[in-house]
Chain A
Amino acid sequence: MNSGIDLEMSFTQGVQNLGLSHELAHLLWIPLPMLLVLVSAVIGVLVTVWLERKISAAAQQRIGPEYAGALGILQPMADGLKLLVKEDIIPARADSVLFTVGPILVLVPVILSWLIVPFGQNLLISNVGIGIFLWIALSSIQPIGLLMSGYSSNNKYSLLGGLRAAAQSISYEIPLALAVLAIVMMSNSLSTVDIVEQQNTAGILSWNIWRQPVGFIIFWICALAECERLPFDLPEAEEELVAGYQTEYSGMKFALFYLAGYINLVLSALLVSVLYLGGWGFPISIDWFSSLIGLSIDNPLVQIIAASLGIVMTILKAYLLVFLAILLRWTTPRVRIDQLLDLGWKFLLPISLVNLLVTASLKLAFPMTFGG
């Protein structure tokens, strides 16, 4: 089943019609989606930063940014520009090589993980077979960057923050992976496209959230912990650690951490919507709807509307989750480090194991509803 709009095909066709070889056309195509995703990730971050400022203001009964553009919509741009022109300081006795490489190692895996986020049937950079497993593997590189920047800053708060960040992200990786495994077991595939397609048979009723409610909650808690958002922002707990591993950073290097954090948040929200909320699927099945108004699903008009609706749905679901994350950040207190580790190892890990086991047995018992 390969319906839907295939932009790559049409692009390579178009270039080949101009008289270039097939390989050259492919080579020309490769950077385009990457660039597009990079731009959309950064724009997603700008929107999230603006939302964060506005929602936090609303939660505290302030107005928030108001003068930079309408409703302060240009405020994140001003933030970014400020960070861009700030002096880049490397502390005198810091290890300058590791100090520079650290933030890059934090940011690059996060951006690479956007490779697997689908916005539609063919609207993703690459439908790699290992899909969601690639994201889990890539996100395990991040702790090394955090440890690196914590160590190289030559500051006790940085070192403690780096160690905490690494410990936190290792502990929450395991329940996260187990929650994903339950989904993978149900859809018989690691590929994000297959996971979404398996959920879009009957609109909202076939979304994974109904079959995996426990997994959804585990995944969301772990994703928040991986993004180091409050209530889990232990690595940069202001009262204890100044700013954790970011303490000595300023200017563009600090901006890289900032960017990585927000890109990771948007990415996690997108993945929650892909894994549990039906990805690009509309709450009402498109097939059913198009047959209702008497148009074939292969009609170009229906295709274009369905594709744009898919993008809107993915982003809408993701931003609803981002809104939830921001609201959580400004209304919940921070947990203590021992509570954090207890929650991860003594609560989420056993629960996610049980969830996996229950999913496996339900799959054997009801192969129709739980993906045979």
Chain B
Amino acid sequence: MNIAYSTELICFLILSAVIVSGSLAVVLLENIVYSAFLLGGVFMAVAGLYLLLNASFVAAAQILVYVGAVNVLILFAIMLVNNKEKLKPIKGLKTRKFISGGVCGGLLILLLRVSITTKWNLPGPTSIGEEATERIGEHLFTDYLLPFELASILLLMAMIGAIVLARRDVSIPPAYINDLNNQKSLSDKKIPLLSENTIK
């Protein structure tokens, strides 16, 4: 057992402990803000696992996409809603928790069984290390071109939908419109921040 191997083993154990306990905490914690921050931690630990597998490009992409974009988006959404407001109590919460716990436990047992009974081809294929970036690019633009483009169309659709939802014209009550008749939406920047009405 040399130094490199034992370091790898220690890193793996720490990372998996972080992932397992972190994701349990994401689900079980009452405070939604803690859950969101912990989710970021879990994503980073997964990136660490990719690094251990010598897939540095995938690790960096994981951090960029999941931590830098997805998790920040979730945090934005949480911070823009009022967290002081108490949530309404849900009827039969105990039984719901029990059922979902049962489903998750069953799924866990199923996956464990699959992973134990499958004959893994060990040792797996050797990693190509730094060459991986080029290889990924090649695959994305040749044999995986269609899924790649379809994913971008899906994202485009989601983006257009979000813009349509967010761009609802805000109507101004008639009392506030005197000399501003020609303006329909608040995003029209001609509205002065301190109109004469507000000064009165």
CB distance from B34 to the nearest CB of A (A): 8
> In this complex, what residue of B is CB-closest to A150?
B79
Instruction: Out of B57, B69, B79, name the residue touching A130 (CB < 8 Å).
Output: B57
- Scan residues 114-139 of chain A and give those whose CB is less than 8 A from a CB of chain B: 128-130, 133-134, 136-138
* B4 close to A (CB within 8 Å): yes
A60 to B57, CA, bound (A): 47
Residues of chain B contacted by A27 (CB below 8 angstroms): 3
A-B pairs under 8 A by CB, number: 71
Chain B interface size, under 10 / 10 to 19 / 20 to 34 / 35 or more: 20 to 34
Interface 9-mer from A140-148, A306-314, A364-372: A140-148
| Inter-chain contact A128/B56, CB cutoff 8 Å | yes
User: What is the total number of residues of chain A having a CB less than 8 Å from a CB of chain B?
Assistant: 28
| Inter-chain contact A133/B60, CB cutoff 8 Å | yes
A243 to B130, CA, bound (A): 43
CB distance from A164 to the nearest CB of B (A): 11
| Inter-chain contact A166/B76, CB cutoff 8 Å | yes
Residues of chain A contacted by B4 (CB below 8 angstroms): 23
| Inter-chain contact B64/A166, CB cutoff 8 Å | no
| Inter-chain contact B75/A137, CB cutoff 8 Å | no
Instruction: Out of A143, A148, A163, name the residue touching B68 (CB < 8 Å).
Output: A143
| Inter-chain contact B64/A136, CB cutoff 8 Å | yes
Residues of chain A contacted by B189 (CB below 8 angstroms): 338
A140 to B4, CA, bound (A): 30
> In this complex, what residue of B is CB-closest to A140?
B68
* B40 close to A (CB within 8 Å): yes
* B100 close to A (CB within 8 Å): no
| Inter-chain contact A147/B79, CB cutoff 8 Å | yes
* B126 close to A (CB within 8 Å): no
- Scan residues 35-58 of chain A and give those whose CB is less than 8 A from a CB of chain B: none
A141 to B60, CA, bound (A): 11
| Inter-chain contact A140/B56, CB cutoff 8 Å | no
Residues of chain B contacted by A128 (CB below 8 angstroms): 56, 130
A140 to B2, CA, bound (A): 35
CB distance from B142 to the nearest CB of A (A): 18
* A173 close to B (CB within 8 Å): yes
| Inter-chain contact B60/A134, CB cutoff 8 Å | yes
Residues of chain B contacted by A106 (CB below 8 angstroms): none
| Inter-chain contact A144/B72, CB cutoff 8 Å | yes
- Scan residues 218-247 of chain A and give those whose CB is less than 8 A from a CB of chain B: none
| Inter-chain contact A144/B133, CB cutoff 8 Å | no
Residues of chain B contacted by A144 (CB below 8 angstroms): 37, 40, 67, 71-72, 75
Residues of chain A contacted by B69 (CB below 8 angstroms): 140, 170
* A270 close to B (CB within 8 Å): no
- Scan residues 148-170 of chain A and give those whose CB is less than 8 A from a CB of chain B: 148, 151, 159, 162-163, 166-167, 170
| Inter-chain contact A141/B67, CB cutoff 8 Å | yes
Query: Which of B72, B75, B80, B130 has the largest number of chain A CB atoms within 10 A?
Result: B72
CB distance from B13 to the nearest CB of A (A): 20
CB distance from B68 to the nearest CB of A (A): 3
A211 to B44, CA, bound (A): 36
- Closest 9 pairs between A and B when the two form their complex, measured CB to CB: A140-B68, A129-B130, A137-B60, A137-B64, A137-B63, A23-B3, A130-B56, A147-B75, A143-B72
Q: Interface residues, chain B, CB within 8 Å of chain A? A: 2-4, 33, 37, 40, 44, 56-57, 60-61, 63-64, 67-69, 71-72, 75-76, 79-80, 129-130, 133, 189
**7 A-B pairs whose Cβ atoms sit less than 8 Å apart in the complex:** A23-B4, A128-B130, A129-B130, A137-B64, A140-B69, A163-B79, A163-B80
